C-alpha cells in the first residue's frame, strides 16, 4: 500500500471523526460557552491527554513501532510470531505501570491538579474544586487510551490503519451523546462531558481489541519480564517520553500562565481556536506521520536508506500541498469560520468569537510547521534515535516560554498562540538541519519545485477567499442560514481556486496522483 493510499485511508476516517468533533465543539460552545465550567472541563480534558502523549502515542509508539516492524520483518509466520511476543511483552510492562500511576493520581488528585495548573487567580472559590472533580472523572481515560495506542501501533505496523483512525469517532459520539442528554445547566453539561470521556475510552479499547483479533494479533497478557528487547524498548522510550513531556509541558505552561495571569475565558479561547487549527493537523500531519513511521522503519531495517528518504520527500510534498492553503485560509478569514461554527445564540458570545478568531489566525502562522514536525520526526524515530528530538524539544520549550512571557502582555492569549507558532518553526529548522547534516535527508528537485508552486497557488487562493469574504460581508453578518451559506461558498470557492491554481502552476499533477493510488 502506497504512502498516498494509506494516508487517504487514515485521513478519510479522521475527517469523519473531525466532523463529529466539530458537532461536539458546537454543542460545547452552546452549552458550556467560555466561562468557569468550560475552563475547568478543558483543564480536566487536557491533563489525561498530557500523560497519554507521555505514556503512549508519540513517545511509546516512537520506540515501539520501529522495533515491532523490525521483529515483523517481511511478515512471514516466524516474523509475526516474534512481533506478537514482543507486543505482548510490551503490554505486560505498560498495563501495570498505568494502573499504578492512575490509582495514585486519583488518590492525590487535589495536589496533582494544583501542581499542574498552579491554581487559579479568579475570585470564585469553587473553580479549583470543580477542576479537581472533573479531572477525577476524565483521568481513567489515560489508562484506556494508552492501551488503545499500543494496539494502534501494532495494527499500523501491519498496514491496517482503519481501526486506529476510526477510534476517535467513538469518543466524539460519546461526548455528543452526553451533551444532548445532559445539558440543563453548564455544570451538569461539564460533569456529563467529563464522565463521557472515560466511557469513550472504554468503547475505543473494545474496537481496537476486536480489530487486533481479526488481524490475528489477539494479545495475551504474560507476566511482566524485562527481556533484552524490553530493555531496548525502554532505552528508546525514555528519551522519547521526555521529548513528548517537553512538548506537553509547553502546553501546560500556556495553561498555567493563562489561568494565573489572563482573564477568565482565555483557556477556552485557545481551546476553541486550537480545535479548528487541529483539523488539518489531524487530517494531514497525524495521518502522514502515522503512515510514514512504519514505512520508513521497514525500509531502514532492510537497508534501503534511499527508499526511506524518497518516502520522506513525497510525504513532505503531500503535507505542504494540503497544509499551505489551509494555513492561508485560516490566517485570512478566521472570523467567519469561528462565527459560523461556534456562535449560535448560546453561551458563546460575539466577544468570545472575536477573541477566538484572533487566536486562530496566530495559530495558523505555525500550521505548516506543526505538520512538518510530524513528517521530519520519523526520520529520527525510524532510525531508533529518540534523543535528538528530545534536545530540540527542550530548545523549543525554552523559546516558547520566553515568547509567552514577552507576548502575553501586549497580545494576551493571542501571544500564547503566536509563541507556539514561532517555536514550532524553530523545531522544523532544527529537525531539518540535523537530518541534512547527517545525510539522512535531502530535498530532491521535485520537492523544492513543488514547495514554491504550492506557495504560489496558496497565495492566489488567499486573495480569492479574502475578496469573496468582503463581497459577502452582509451575508456573513446576517447570521443563521445566510451566514452558513456564505461560509460554505467561501470554503468551496477557496478549494476550487486552489486546485485550479495548483494544476496551472504544476503543484498538483493528476497523473502522479492516479499512479500513486493504483500502486500497491
- The reply to whether 314 and 348 lie within a common domain is yes
Q: Is the pLDDT of residue 73 over 80?
A: no
Query: What are 142's three cell numbers?
Result: 489515560
Length of the chain: 520
Q: How far apart are alpha carbons 231 and 238 in whole angstroms?
A: 11
- The reply to whether 39 and 178 lie within a common domain is yes
Q: Which domain holds residue 61?
A: 3-443
The listed range with the strongest mean pLDDT (39-48, 156-165, 268-277, 356-365) is: 356-365
- The reply to whether 195 and 312 lie within a common domain is yes
- The reply to whether 388 and 253 lie within a common domain is yes
Contact of 421 with 368, CB cutoff 8 Å: no
Helix (H) or strand (E) run with residue 481 in it: helix 480-505
Q: Please, which pLDDT band fits residue 517 given cuts at 50, 70 and 90?
A: very low
Query: What are 438's three cell numbers?
Result: 547527517
What percent of the chain has a predicted confidence (pLDDT) above 70?
85
- The reply to whether 424 and 461 lie within a common domain is no
Q: How far apart are the first and last CA of the chain?
A: 5
- The reply to whether 477 and 421 lie within a common domain is no
Domain count, the chain: 2
- Residue 418: strand, helix, or coil: helix
pLDDT at 251: 65
Nearest-CA neighbor of 140 among 51, 247, 248, 240?
51
Q: How far apart are alpha carbons 388 and 432 in whole angstroms?
A: 12
In angstroms, what is the C-alpha Rg of the chain? 22
- The reply to whether 85 and 216 lie within a common domain is yes
Higher local confidence (pLDDT), 253 or 505: 505
Give me the mean pLDDT over the 212-224 stretch.
86
- The reply to whether 430 and 466 lie within a common domain is no
Mean pLDDT for all residues in the chain: 82
Nearest-CA neighbor of 390 among 380, 405, 379?
380
Q: Which stretch of 61-70, 179-188, 499-508 has the lowest confidence by average pLDDT?
A: 61-70
pTM of the model: 0.69
Q: Which stretch of 46-55, 274-283, 436-445 has the lowest confidence by average pLDDT?
A: 46-55
The domain boundary, picked from 376, 411, 443, lies at 443
- The reply to whether 456 and 433 lie within a common domain is no
Q: Please, which pLDDT band fits residue 403 given cuts at 50, 70 and 90?
A: very high
Query: What are 305's three cell numbers?
Result: 536508506
- The reply to whether 433 and 397 lie within a common domain is yes
- Name the H helices within 281-412: 287-301, 305-332, 334-342, 350-365, 367-376, 378-381, 387-411
Give me the mean pLDDT over the 499-519 stretch.
70
List pLDDT tens digits, range 18-32.
788 878 888 887 888
Give me the mean pLDDT over the 298-313 stretch.
82
- The reply to whether 450 and 438 lie within a common domain is no
- The reply to whether 164 and 262 lie within a common domain is yes
Contact of 446 with 317, CB cutoff 8 Å: yes
Q: Please, which pLDDT band fits residue 513 given cuts at 50, 70 and 90?
A: low
pLDDT at 1: 45
List pLDDT tens digits, range 426-482.
999 999 999 999 999 998 999 999 999 999 999 999 999 999 999 988 888 766 778
Amino acid at each position: 500500500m502506497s504512502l498516498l493510499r494509506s494516508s487517504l485511508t487514515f485521513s478519510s476516517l479522521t475527517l469523519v471523526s473531525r466532523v463529529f468533533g466539530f458537532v461536539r465543539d458546537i454543542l460545547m460552545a452552546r452549552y458550556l460557552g467560555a466561562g468557569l465550567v468550560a475552563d475547568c472541563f478543558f483543564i480536566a480534558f487536557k491533563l489525561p491527554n498530557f500523560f497519554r502523549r507521555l505514556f503512549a502515542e508519540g513517545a511509546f509508539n516512537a520506540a515501539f513501532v520501529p522495533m515491532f516492524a523490525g521483529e515483523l520483518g517481511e511478515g512471514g509466520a516466524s516474523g509475526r510470531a516474534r512481533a506478537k511476543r514482543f507486543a505482548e511483552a510490551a503490554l505486560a510492562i505498560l498495563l501495570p505501570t498505568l494502573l499504578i500511576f492512575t490509582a495514585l493520581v486519583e488518590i492525590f488528585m487535589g495536589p496533582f491538579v494544583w501542581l499542574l495548573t498552579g491554581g487559579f487567580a479568579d475570585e470564585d472559590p469553587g473553580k479549583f474544586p470543580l477542576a479537581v472533580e472533573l479531572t477525577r472523572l476524565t483521568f481513567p481515560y489515560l489508562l484506556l487510551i494508552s492501551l488503545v495506542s499500543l494496539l494502534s501501533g501494532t495494527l499500523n505496523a501491519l498496514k491496517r490503519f482503519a481501526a486506529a483512525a476510526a477510534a476517535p469517532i467513538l469518543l466524539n459520539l460519546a461526548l455528543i451523546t452526553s451533551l444532548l442528554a445532559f445539558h440543563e445547566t453548564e455544570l451538569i453539561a461539564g460533569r456529563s462531558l467529563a464522565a463521557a470521556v472515560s466511557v469513550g475510552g472504554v468503547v475505543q479499547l473494545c474496537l481496537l481489541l476486536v480489530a487486533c483479533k481479526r488481524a490475528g494479533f489477539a494479545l495475551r497478557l504474560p507476566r511482566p519480564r524485562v527481556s533484552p528487547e524490553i530493555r531496548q524498548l525502554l532505552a528508546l522510550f525514555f528519551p522519547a517520553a521526555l521529548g513528548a513531556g517537553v512538548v506537553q509541558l509547553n502546553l501546560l505552561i500556556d495553561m498555567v500562565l493563562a489561568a494565573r495571569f489572563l482573564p477568565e475565558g482565555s483557556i477556552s479561547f485557545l481551546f476553541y481556536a486550537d480545535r479548528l487549527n487541529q483539523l488539518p493537523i489531524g487530517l494531514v500531519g497525524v495521518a502522514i506521520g502515522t503512515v510514514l513511521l512504519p514505512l520508513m522503519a521497514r525500509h531502514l531495517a532492510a537497508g534501503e536508506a534511499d527508499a526511506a528518504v524518497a518516502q520522506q520527500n513525497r510525504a513532505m510534498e503531500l503535507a505542504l500541498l494540503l497544509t499551505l492553503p489551509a494555513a492561508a485560509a485560516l490566517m485570512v478569514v478566521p472570523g467567519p469560520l469561528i462565527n459560523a461554527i461556534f456562535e449560535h445564540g448560546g453561551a458563546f458570545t460575539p466577544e468570545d468569537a472575536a477573541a477566538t478568531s484572533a487566536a486562530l489566525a496566530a495559530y495558523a502562522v505555525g500550521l505548516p510547521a506543526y505538520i512538518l514536525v510530524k513528517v521530519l520526526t520519523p526520520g529520527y524515530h525510524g532510525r531508533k534515535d529518540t534523543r535528538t528530538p528530545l534536545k530540540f524539544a527542550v530548545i523549543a520549550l525554552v523559546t516558547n516560554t520566553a515568547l509567552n512571557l514577552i507576548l502575553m502582555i501586549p497580545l494576551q492569549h493571542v501571544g500564547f498562540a503566536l509563541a507556539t507558532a514561532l517555536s514550532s518553526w524553530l523545531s522544523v529548522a532544527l529537525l531539518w538541519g540535523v537530518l541534512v547534516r547527517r545525510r539522512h535527508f535531502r530535498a530532491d528537485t521535485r520537492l523544492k519545485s513543488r514547495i514554491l508552486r504550492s506557495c504560489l497557488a496558496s497565495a492566489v487562493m488567499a486573495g480569492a477567499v479574502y475578496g469573496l469574504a468582503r463581497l459577502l460581508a452582509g451575508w456573513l453578518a446576517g447570521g443563521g442560514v445566510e451566514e452558513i451559506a456564505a461560509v460554505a461558498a467561501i470554503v468551496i470557492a477557496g478549494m476550487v481556486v486552489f486546485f485550479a491554481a495548483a494544476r496551472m502552476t504544476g503543484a498538483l499533477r493528476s497523473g502522479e496522483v492516479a499512479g500513486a493510488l493504483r500502486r500497491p
